[in-house]
Protein backbone atom coordinates (compact mmCIF):
# COMPACT_ATOMS: atom_id res chain seq x y z
CA UNK A 1 0.00 0.00 0.00
CA UNK A 2 2.97 2.27 0.47
CA UNK A 3 3.55 1.98 -3.28
CA UNK A 4 0.03 3.18 -4.06
CA UNK A 5 0.28 6.04 -1.56
CA UNK A 6 3.68 7.00 -2.91
CA UNK A 7 2.35 7.32 -6.45
CA UNK A 8 -0.49 9.55 -5.27
CA UNK A 9 1.96 11.76 -3.37
CA UNK A 10 3.85 12.53 -6.57
CA UNK A 11 0.86 14.47 -7.87
CA UNK A 12 0.55 16.61 -4.75
CA UNK A 13 2.07 20.03 -4.50
CA UNK A 14 5.38 19.86 -2.63
CA UNK A 15 4.34 22.49 -0.03
CA UNK A 16 1.03 20.71 0.65
CA UNK A 17 2.88 17.42 1.12
CA UNK A 18 5.30 19.02 3.61
CA UNK A 19 2.39 20.61 5.48
CA UNK A 20 0.53 17.31 5.79
CA UNK A 21 3.66 15.61 7.11
CA UNK A 22 4.15 18.35 9.71
CA UNK A 23 0.48 18.47 10.75
CA UNK A 24 0.52 17.00 14.25
CA UNK A 25 -3.25 16.51 14.36
CA UNK A 26 -3.00 14.27 11.25
CA UNK A 27 -0.16 12.34 12.84
CA UNK A 28 -2.18 11.83 16.03
CA UNK A 29 -5.21 10.59 14.05
CA UNK A 30 -2.96 8.10 12.26
CA UNK A 31 -1.49 6.91 15.55
CA UNK A 32 -4.97 6.51 17.03
CA UNK A 33 -5.95 4.27 14.12
CA UNK A 34 -2.88 2.12 14.67
CA UNK A 35 -3.43 1.77 18.42
CA UNK A 36 -7.05 0.81 18.01
CA UNK A 37 -6.33 -2.15 15.74
CA UNK A 38 -5.39 -4.78 18.29
CA UNK A 39 -8.74 -6.53 18.41
CA UNK A 40 -9.58 -9.19 15.87
CA UNK A 41 -12.89 -7.40 15.27
CA UNK A 42 -11.02 -4.29 14.15
CA UNK A 43 -8.62 -6.32 12.03
CA UNK A 44 -11.42 -8.14 10.24
CA UNK A 45 -13.15 -4.80 9.66
CA UNK A 46 -9.93 -3.56 8.03
CA UNK A 47 -9.89 -6.66 5.82
CA UNK A 48 -13.50 -6.16 4.75
CA UNK A 49 -13.35 -2.40 4.24
CA UNK A 50 -10.08 -2.41 2.31
CA UNK A 51 -10.66 -5.57 0.26
CA UNK A 52 -10.70 -3.70 -3.06
CA UNK A 53 -7.53 -1.77 -2.22
CA UNK A 54 -5.77 -4.95 -1.14
CA UNK A 55 -6.96 -6.59 -4.36
CA UNK A 56 -5.33 -3.78 -6.35
CA UNK A 57 -2.14 -4.28 -4.33
CA UNK A 58 -2.10 -7.96 -5.27
CA UNK A 59 -3.00 -7.35 -8.94
CA UNK A 60 -0.76 -4.35 -9.59
CA UNK A 61 2.22 -4.85 -7.29
CA UNK A 62 2.63 -8.28 -5.74
CA UNK A 63 2.07 -10.13 -9.03
CA UNK A 64 5.08 -8.45 -10.67
CA UNK A 65 8.28 -10.45 -10.55
CA UNK A 66 10.48 -7.36 -10.32
CA UNK A 67 8.83 -6.45 -6.99
CA UNK A 68 10.70 -9.24 -5.19
CA UNK A 69 12.47 -9.64 -2.87
CA UNK A 70 9.78 -7.70 -1.08
CA UNK A 71 10.01 -6.34 2.43
CA UNK A 72 6.67 -5.55 4.04
CA UNK A 73 7.29 -3.52 7.13
CA UNK A 74 5.69 -0.97 9.37
CA UNK A 75 5.24 0.13 12.95
CA UNK A 76 5.23 -2.58 15.60
CA UNK A 77 1.49 -2.27 16.18
CA UNK A 78 0.50 -2.08 12.53
CA UNK A 79 -1.46 -5.17 11.66
CA UNK A 80 -2.23 -4.29 8.02
CA UNK A 81 1.21 -5.51 6.97
CA UNK A 82 0.79 -8.76 8.86
CA UNK A 83 -2.59 -9.13 7.19
CA UNK A 84 -1.01 -8.85 3.73
CA UNK A 85 1.57 -11.51 4.61
CA UNK A 86 -1.21 -13.70 6.02
CA UNK A 87 -3.19 -13.33 2.77
CA UNK A 88 -0.10 -14.24 0.75
CA UNK A 89 0.30 -17.42 2.81
CA UNK A 90 -3.36 -18.30 2.23
CA UNK A 91 -2.91 -17.69 -1.49
CA UNK A 92 0.08 -20.04 -1.55
CA UNK A 93 -2.02 -22.78 0.10
CA UNK A 94 0.27 -22.95 3.11
CA UNK A 95 -1.29 -25.53 5.45
CA UNK A 96 -3.04 -23.81 8.32
CA UNK A 97 -1.23 -25.97 10.90
CA UNK A 98 2.09 -24.61 9.65
CA UNK A 99 0.91 -21.00 9.62
CA UNK A 100 -0.59 -21.29 13.09
CA UNK A 101 2.45 -23.03 14.60
CA UNK A 102 4.99 -20.72 13.00
CA UNK A 103 3.03 -17.57 13.83
CA UNK A 104 2.72 -18.66 17.46
CA UNK A 105 6.43 -19.45 17.69
CA UNK A 106 7.33 -16.05 16.30
CA UNK A 107 4.84 -13.98 18.29
CA UNK A 108 5.44 -15.80 21.56
CA UNK A 109 9.09 -14.85 21.18
CA UNK A 110 8.40 -11.15 20.66
CA UNK A 111 9.13 -9.19 23.82
CA UNK A 112 6.85 -6.36 24.78
CA UNK A 113 9.47 -4.57 26.84
CA UNK A 114 12.08 -3.35 24.43
CA UNK A 115 15.62 -2.65 25.47
CA UNK A 116 16.73 0.72 24.15
CA UNK A 117 15.31 4.01 25.43
CA UNK A 118 13.87 5.07 22.08
CA UNK A 119 11.53 2.11 22.22
CA UNK A 120 10.46 2.56 25.83
CA UNK A 121 7.46 4.73 24.90
CA UNK A 122 6.39 2.18 22.28
CA UNK A 123 6.66 -0.67 24.76
CA UNK A 124 4.56 1.16 27.36
CA UNK A 125 1.89 2.17 24.86
CA UNK A 126 1.67 -1.35 23.46
CA UNK A 127 1.31 -2.85 26.91
CA UNK A 128 -1.30 -0.24 27.89
CA UNK A 129 -3.26 -1.07 24.74
CA UNK A 130 -3.19 -4.78 25.55
CA UNK A 131 -1.16 -5.58 22.44
CA UNK A 132 -0.51 -9.25 22.24
CA UNK A 133 -3.63 -10.45 24.04
CA UNK A 134 -5.00 -11.82 20.78
CA UNK A 135 -1.74 -13.23 19.45
CA UNK A 136 -2.33 -16.87 20.43
CA UNK A 137 -5.64 -17.07 18.55
CA UNK A 138 -4.99 -14.59 15.76
CA UNK A 139 -4.52 -16.96 12.79
CA UNK A 140 -7.14 -19.43 13.92
CA UNK A 141 -9.80 -16.76 14.47
CA UNK A 142 -9.02 -14.91 11.25
CA UNK A 143 -9.30 -18.15 9.22
CA UNK A 144 -12.60 -18.96 10.96
CA UNK A 145 -14.01 -15.52 10.13
CA UNK A 146 -12.89 -15.71 6.51
CA UNK A 147 -14.54 -19.13 6.16
CA UNK A 148 -17.73 -17.89 7.86
CA UNK A 149 -18.03 -14.67 5.84
CA UNK A 150 -16.70 -15.76 2.44
CA UNK A 151 -16.85 -19.57 2.49
CA UNK A 152 -13.15 -19.98 1.68
CA UNK A 153 -9.94 -18.05 1.11
CA UNK A 154 -10.32 -18.40 -2.67
CA UNK A 155 -13.75 -16.75 -2.50
CA UNK A 156 -12.23 -13.93 -0.43
CA UNK A 157 -9.68 -13.32 -3.21
CA UNK A 158 -12.53 -13.27 -5.75
CA UNK A 159 -14.36 -10.62 -3.67
CA UNK A 160 -11.11 -8.65 -3.45
CA UNK A 161 -10.93 -8.68 -7.26
CA UNK A 162 -7.73 -10.73 -7.40
CA UNK A 163 -7.68 -12.49 -10.75
CA UNK A 164 -6.71 -16.11 -11.37
CA UNK A 165 -3.80 -14.80 -13.46
CA UNK A 166 -2.57 -12.77 -10.48
CA UNK A 167 -2.74 -15.79 -8.18
CA UNK A 168 -0.86 -17.91 -10.73
CA UNK A 169 1.74 -15.17 -11.15
CA UNK A 170 2.32 -14.83 -7.40
CA UNK A 171 2.55 -18.60 -6.99
CA UNK A 172 4.99 -18.76 -9.90
CA UNK A 173 7.19 -16.14 -8.26
CA UNK A 174 7.09 -17.39 -4.67
CA UNK A 175 6.79 -21.17 -4.93
CA UNK A 176 9.69 -23.44 -5.85
CA UNK A 177 9.69 -24.43 -9.51
CA UNK A 178 7.21 -27.18 -10.39
CA UNK A 179 5.14 -27.02 -7.19
CA UNK A 180 1.60 -25.79 -6.73
CA UNK A 181 1.70 -25.41 -2.95
CA UNK A 182 4.03 -25.83 -0.02
CA UNK A 183 3.93 -28.94 2.12
CA UNK A 184 3.29 -28.96 5.84
CA UNK A 185 6.51 -28.72 7.82
Number of structural domains, the chain? Answer: 1
The answer to whether 112 and 126 have CB atoms below 8 angstroms apart is yes
The answer to whether 89 and 97 have CB atoms below 8 angstroms apart is no
Q: What is the pLDDT averaged over residues 168-181?
A: 78
The answer to whether 159 and 150 have CB atoms below 8 angstroms apart is yes
pTM to 2 decimals? 0.60
The answer to whether 78 and 36 have CB atoms below 8 angstroms apart is no
Would you place residue 139 in the very low, low, confident or very high pLDDT band (cuts 50, 70, 90)?
confident
> pLDDT tens digits for 61-105?
888 887 776 655 544 444 566 778 788 888 888 877 777 777 666
Among left, alpha and beta (phi > 0; psi -120 to 50; other), residue 151 is left
C-alpha to C-alpha distance for 30 and 37, rounded to whole angstroms: 11
Q: Is 185 domain-assigned?
A: no
The answer to whether 38 and 130 have CB atoms below 8 angstroms apart is yes
Q: Is 150 domain-assigned?
A: yes
> pLDDT tens digits for 48-70?
888 888 888 888 888 888 777 66
Whether the CA torsion 174, 180, 183, 184 is positive or negative: it is positive
Q: Is 183 domain-assigned?
A: no
Decide which of 102 and 168 is more confident. Answer: 168
Q: Is 182 domain-assigned?
A: no
Q: Is 16 domain-assigned?
A: yes
Q: Give the residue numbers spanning the domain of 40.
A: 2-174
Amino acid sequence: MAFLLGRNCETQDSDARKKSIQDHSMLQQSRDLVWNRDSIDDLFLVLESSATLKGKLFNNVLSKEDMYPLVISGDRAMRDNTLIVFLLLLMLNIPFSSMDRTYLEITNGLPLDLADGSDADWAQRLQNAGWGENRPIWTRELCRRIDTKYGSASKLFTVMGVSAETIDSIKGILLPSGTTNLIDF
